[in-house]
Amino acid sequence: MISTGIFTGYYPYTLDETIRRIKASDFSCVQLDVSFKDLDAAKEPLTKEKAHLIRDKFRDANLPVIAVSAYTNFIHPDPVKRKENIDYLKMMIRYARDLGCPYVASETGTYNLESDWVWHEKNADPKVFDETIGIIKEIAAYAADHGAVFIVENYVNNVIGSVEQVLRMFDEVGTRGLGLLCDPTNYYDEAHFADIDGTLEEIFARLSPYMKIAHAKDIKKAVDTGEKHADIDADASHSFRGSGSIELPAAGLGDLNYELYVRLLAQDHPNIPLIIEHLDEGDIERAKRFVDGTLKKVGV
């Protein structure tokens, strides 16, 4: 059966309190954000001892870590900021096994200086795509050397967003140290929204072999076409709710065909973890009921 989990970053508490609340909501696994009130990898470097402390607390709670978050804009046009972002990603990869899981996730980023999720015209430049592939090759090799796997989360407003671009990435980089995070909502722009089911079917028909874990959020047409964020105590990667013509709300609050999604997901990945996201703490119970109910209805 597909297991249901959640990002730890939606709980703005200490490590122990975060674990207590996740257990109280009866989740069976987590995607780990090392951004606890008493331990934050973005503010202080990780060490093996800190990583083992986190890993062991989740093990004691019987909450497997199924991926480590390291979301950053590694194609940032400012070379100093780009190096900082790549160094952060490599740090998380270096300690991934110590944190309990080899999978480390990030999107590919954008040339936009104001946001990590807003389109920039240079994202479509073939030279920028090649530049991004070069960095992914470097990161994937680094991951493989550390017994880890860099799992790319594509996004339509980033350099790598489409099915074709994801396929080209694997064609050029290979699968050593590289995998794909399955989040079908990240492929939708206004054109794809016109054929929601067809887009889902294409994603799985062409990309399923590369998928390692999956995310659960939703899609709907946006009224406000600017960048959208929720007013929650979380970093920007968790407050983000979409940019442009598509809004990305929590699962069950949009138009994605969830029964089709989980049916396609289960065909090749019957035991894959499905991680709920894009919500505030007050919506966690509803979103979990929706996802669990859909999985039960489909029988996966």
- Looking at the DSSP bridge assignments, the partners of residue 149 are 103
Strand 178-182 to strand 29-32: parallel, antiparallel, or no bridges (unpaired)? unpaired
- Looking at the DSSP bridge assignments, the partners of residue 31 are 7, 67
d(CA 138, CA 136): 5
Query: 105 and 181 in contact (C-beta within 8 Å)?
Result: yes
Q: CA angle at residue 79 from 162 to 104, to 5 degrees?
A: 50
Domains and CATH numbers, the chain: 3-298 (3.20.20.150)
* Residue that is written with structure tokens 């089709």 in the block: 260
pTM: 0.96
Per-residue pLDDT of the chain (300 residues; tens, 9 = 90+): 999 999 999 999 999 999 999 999 999 999 999 999 999 888 888 999 999 999 999 999 999 999 999 999 999 999 999 999 999 999 999 999 999 999 999 999 999 877 777 778 888 999 999 999 999 999 999 999 999 999 999 999 999 999 999 999 999 999 999 999 999 999 999 889 999 999 999 999 999 999 999 999 999 998 877 777 888 888 777 888 888 889 999 999 999 999 999 999 999 999 999 999 999 999 999 999 999 999 999 999
Phi, psi angle pair for 211, to nearest 5°: -75, 135
